[in-house]
Structure 1
Amino acid sequence: MDSTPAPEGQPASAPGRRGKLVKIAVIVTVVLTAAVGGAFAVVGPLQASPVGSEAGSAVRSQPGTAFPVVQPAAAVTVPAAGAKEVNPAAPVTVSVKNGTVDNVSLRSATGDDVEGALDAQKAVWTSSGQLKFNTTYTLSYTSLDAAGRTATATSTFTTVSTANEADAAMYPLDGMSVGVAQPIQLTFSEPVKNKKAVEQAITITSTSGQKGEFHWYSDTMVRYRPEQYWAAQSTITVKMELFGVDLGNGQIGNFSKTNTVHVGDKRTAVADAQAHTFTAYVNDQPVHTWPATLGDERFPSARGFLVLMEKQRKAHFVAASIGLKPGDPANYGELDVEYATRLTPSGEFIHQATDTAIPYLGVTNVSHGCIGLGPDGAAWVFNNMTTGDVVQIINTQGDFANFDDGFGDWNIPWAQYANG
């Protein structure tokens, strides 16, 4: 071993240092060679091996050397593929996990496109256009994962069939002018089981600020009125958002619309079966009192509040329609009357008394339940009162008209009406 000291100013080499450096270089060479899976070039600059695009490779379940696993995009559609009796009011959605949504198309069998929009993250597409009943739709979409891989899918579904489509009719009609006592009535084409859902879908407001309550008379008919008569010269707005509402038993509402009804002056009347008078009021002020005849003991007039319905300048009455037969002393056969204003569908009217009844006006009751007036009184009622005005019949032996025999809503105490 050479023990000659190193020249002054130069570090002394440690024993065996050169040999160790050679070994380290060899180890680095072996490691780099193994890392790239091939020969390592020691001449010239160090160059990295090329890496293929993830988008062009198969989906991996194990991490690669350069990249972690990229999960494939997973899409979920609502409704599911092949769904039947889909509610047309329910939005159609395409939701993607581990990626984004692209190129969505929702089209009916007749070629109508349904619009929609993506959320800010482009992870959910939601339809905004309205679907139709009894229609098959095709939903096509493309999903994109983080590696750029795309996947396209198509599914179909069918909306609620015509057999499960429910309609409703409102009275008064849209734009109609009525009196202060006219309830709002909705008649449904199918029985309603989810009554609360239907009530929540209907908003009724008045320019008077009055609020009312619904009262269900059957599974197919509901009415709405305030505690007191509608305010004179007010406007009622009925907003019905029934499209897509589940009425129960698979029946789905098929429309949404808004109707308005105008209320005129307050026109009321009182018919007194004991005094044999009929007094008309306009905005609570008496304007006329006429002698009258009401129903006799066998056919007493209905008591309480009766809302005026349709009017007929000339009406044809048939005794058989109220059960009278030939030989019955009360059978009047058939006759025509003037200025007939209907009070009940069963046949009570305000009308001009027949010639044989004129002598009894203001004296006694001889009718079959109707209110008979002289020519002037009957004509005034016909020309000045209208649908929704109301007459109160007092001092009669008759019972209240049945709830479905006209609009007897005002004969029901408010506490009972509001909870019905």
Structure 2
Amino acid sequence: MVSGSVRKHGLAVAGICVLLLAGTACSDTKADGGNGSGGQSTPSTSQSNSPGASTTPGDSTTPSESPAASIAVVPAKGASSVQPDKPVTVTTTAGKLSEVTLKDDDGDKVAGSFNTEKTQWTSTDHLKPGASYTVSGSAEGSDGGSVPISSTFKTLKATKSLKASVVPLNGETVGVALPIQIYWNNPVKDRAAVEKRLKVTTSVPVTGTWHWVNSKQVNYRPMNYWPAGTKVAVNIDTQGVNAGNNTWGTSSRKIAFSIGKSVVSNVSVKKHTMTVTINGKLARTIPITAGKDGFTTRSGVKVIMEKFTTKRMDAATIGIKPGDPNYYNISDVKWAQRVTSSGEFIHGAPWSAGSQGSANVSHGCVGMSLADAQWFFNQTLRGDPVTVTGTTRHMEPGNGWTDWNTTWAAYKKGSALS
């Protein structure tokens, strides 16, 4: 049996404990906290529900009870092997963000945007593989106090890089049939991911599509020839894109080019003529000679690929050896314009003047007088179309810029996003 004095003493101790607990629950959040900080709280270990987030210390671990901003950065401070295609976010759960800057180790800024409330900033550009990044800035609490933002992280290193070479050149003026061609330095496995980062904009409405030739080449052409005078911009925004097999885009690039006047030519092998239409009007009908038996000129839509005022033409390049009756080696062929990779040209051919307009005597090229060849050369641009008809030999896919020999429906199916 407990005596009355002992019972009274126990109740007194319990009352003191209740008072201490009550005092703790109602303590001032700006108090020292027992760490000797003189009113500055220790960093919070649970300031954000974002996984992998890094934090900047605020005045309290309970933002709803504090006027100071509490910051969470994703990816976490010190993180490594961060995927370049994942966005960086900076979030505050109290107050609002004042400014946020994200830079790589070269000092290049990464674009981003705030939400309406300015409580979150999200990067909009992909990052570089194998780079170090610094997040800086500040946030403002509801009390008007400023809280600094500071965090660093590293992106993963790519086993292989993805870079683009492009036709046409930046600033070039080209013909109405030129397809945009992007050649990759490494194969693309995830074609859809890469194609999503490619954008073509035009000064007038144009319907077009991308078409994958193979894993290292993707082309773009309109449904019909480019309208004359169109301004075209291509944004190859592939920095940070995951092309598959740990191949990552290491850079982006932009090019702009213009479409010249419309020069559309038609060669009739049977009639031995070439008609040239400029901006919709017939400009000239030219007597020509084409390929003889055994060297038939290919039928199909060809595109001028290269232009030479003077070009050496050696039959050895197409497999005809010296000593063969069909061998030739002419050092100064004038006004030569390449239309196939295999060696078909349109050029001046004074040696066949007697056959131009009446017979086909060439080794596959379209020949004409020097005067007509020079006039035609001066009208055309790289990318102008030349359609050949009248033979049973047809253009092989890839033997030059052969995009126009595929129907629009079939061409669209070559898109990874179709």
After TM superposition, the score normalised by the length of structure 2 is 0.73
1:397-416 superposed matches below 5 A: 397-400=392-395, 402-416=396-410
CA contact (8 A) 1:73 1:99 kept: no
CA contact (8 A) 1:73 1:100 kept: no
CA contact (8 A) 1:212 1:225 kept: yes
The aligned counterpart of 2:375 is: 380
Query: What RMSD, in angstroms, separates the aligned Cα atoms of the two structures?
Result: 4.2
Of 279, 283, 298, 1:302 maps to 298
Of 255, 258, 261, 1:259 maps to 255
CA distance in 1, matches of 2:261, 2:359: 32
1:208 to 1:333, Cα distance in 2 relative to 1, 3 A: same
Q: Does 1:214 align with 2:210?
A: yes
Q: Which has the larger radius of gyration?
A: 1
The aligned counterpart of 2:15 is: 35
Per-residue Cα deviation, 1:350-384 (whole angstroms, up to 9, x for no partner):
100042x2222112111111110101110011111
CA contact (8 A) 1:351 1:373 kept: yes
Instruction: Look up the equivalent residue of 2:83 and give its one-letter code.
Output: N
Q: Secondary structure at the match of 2:288?
A: strand
CA contact (8 A) 2:292 2:362 kept: yes
1:272-311 superposed matches below 5 A: 272-311=268-307
Per-residue Cα deviation, 1:206-251 (whole angstroms, up to 9, x for no partner):
3331211111111111111122111122222323322222222222
The aligned counterpart of 1:230 is: 226
Per-residue Cα deviation, 1:370-411 (whole angstroms, up to 9, x for no partner):
1101011100111111111111111123221x3322211111
Q: Secondary structure at the match of 1:359?
A: coil
Instruction: Look up the equivalent residue of 1:411 and give its one-letter code.
Output: N
CA distance in 2, matches of 1:160, 1:291: 62
The aligned counterpart of 2:46 is: 73
CA distance in 1, matches of 2:125, 2:392: 59
CA contact (8 A) 1:269 1:390 kept: yes
The aligned counterpart of 2:364 is: 369
Number of equivalences:
365
After TM superposition, the score normalised by the length of structure 1 is 0.73
Per-residue Cα deviation, 1:19-68 (whole angstroms, up to 9, x for no partner):
xxxxxxxx8x996775347xxxxxxxxxx99x986654479xxxxxxxxx
1:94-105 superposed matches below 5 A: none
1:159-198 superposed matches below 5 A: 159-161=155-157, 163-198=159-194
CA contact (8 A) 2:208 2:222 kept: yes
1:351 to 1:134, Cα distance in 2 relative to 1, 3 A: same
CA distance in 1, matches of 2:229, 2:217: 27
1:113 to 1:310, Cα distance in 2 relative to 1, 3 A: closer
**Structure 1: 5+ residue stretches without partners:** 1-26, 38-47, 60-70, 144-151
Tell me the percent identity.
36
Per-residue Cα deviation, 1:289-334 (whole angstroms, up to 9, x for no partner):
1211111111111111101122111001111110011221111134
Per-residue Cα deviation, 1:259-295 (whole angstroms, up to 9, x for no partner):
3221122111111111111111112221111211111
Query: What's the offset of the Cα at 1:417?
Result: 1.0
Q: Secondary structure at the match of 2:337?
A: strand
